[in-house]
Amino acid sequence: MTFVDDVRSMKIQSATTIAIRSLRHLKKSRNPRKEAEALLKARPTAVVLRNALGRAGKIGIDRTIAELEASRKKASKNFLAFISKRCRKKSLTVLTHCHSTLVVGDLTELKRKYRLHVIVTETRPRNQGLLTLRELSKKGIKATYIVDSAVAPFMKSADFVLAGADALRKEGVVNKIGTYPLAVFSKAMKKPFYIVSTSFTEDRRKNIMMEERPAAEVLRNRIRGVSVRNPAFDITPWKYVTACITDRGARK
């Protein structure tokens, strides 16, 4: 398999990780322009990658990677400061969806200050929550793994919900499918819903192509007369987001 295949098949995941590894790959590529176009087609909703490629065209790959890493560190610092001001108790329970290296990093830092328990959704159909679960386990963080439809009984014990973002747009937050209903449910149960991301996810374009993945991810054996839809992302309106914390600060 080629590097582009690894990105398309989601062997490489998490928006900033995809961008950084793609830039490093393109640095060694014999035809970087062609491969960059192929990467964008492979994950059309990958705004961080698109913005990083545009930035690299202006300041170079190495400086762009440095900016990506710096923005992630700054976002984490801002998030920890944000939570520290609002959570005075010694223990925290956080519910999270899908997989984000930024979210995992933030949870790891929270463990230094709080007795932390994380509730992780499976995140169908690719069960990306397993990636989060395994990384948290390696960090020694107590976690509970639940199916997506089980959030109701577990939301009661959560102090807040935390998710990453693939794009921050005027109409809302683009993230893994299932984020929107989770945010609606969080508001209904009066639980804060926080997004942590970086300025590289900001998307001011008029339109965004929402990726739809193969039907086989949902239904391996097709049934006659049955159509299958497998959208990879949804858009959560800002009214359901309590705060979005990036390297530029907190947006409410």
**Cα distance between residue 239 and residue 211, in whole Å:** 24
In our burial notation (b when 16+ CB lie closer than 10 A, e otherwise), range 24-49 reads ebbeeeeebeebbebbbebbebbbbb
Peptide bond into 44 cis (omega under 30): no
Give the SS3 label for residue 73.
helix
CA distances from 213 to 33, 50, 178, 217, 228 (A): 25, 19, 15, 8, 10
Q: Tokens for 229?
A: 């839809």
| Phi, psi dihedral angles at 228 (to 5 degrees) | -125, 130
Tell me which of 106, 159, 166, 247 is the catalytic residue: 166
Tell me which of 6, 62, 87, 98 is the catalytic residue: 98
What's the gap between Cα 167 and its chain centre? Answer: 9
Q: Tokens for 93?
A: 């329970």
Active site residue 62: no
**Cα distance between residue 110 and residue 78, in whole Å:** 12
Active site residue 244: no
**Cα distance between residue 39 and residue 25, in whole Å:** 11
What's the gap between Cα 99 and its chain centre? Answer: 6
Orientation of helix 47-59 relative to helix 15-28, angle to 10°: 40
The catalytic residue positions are: 98, 166
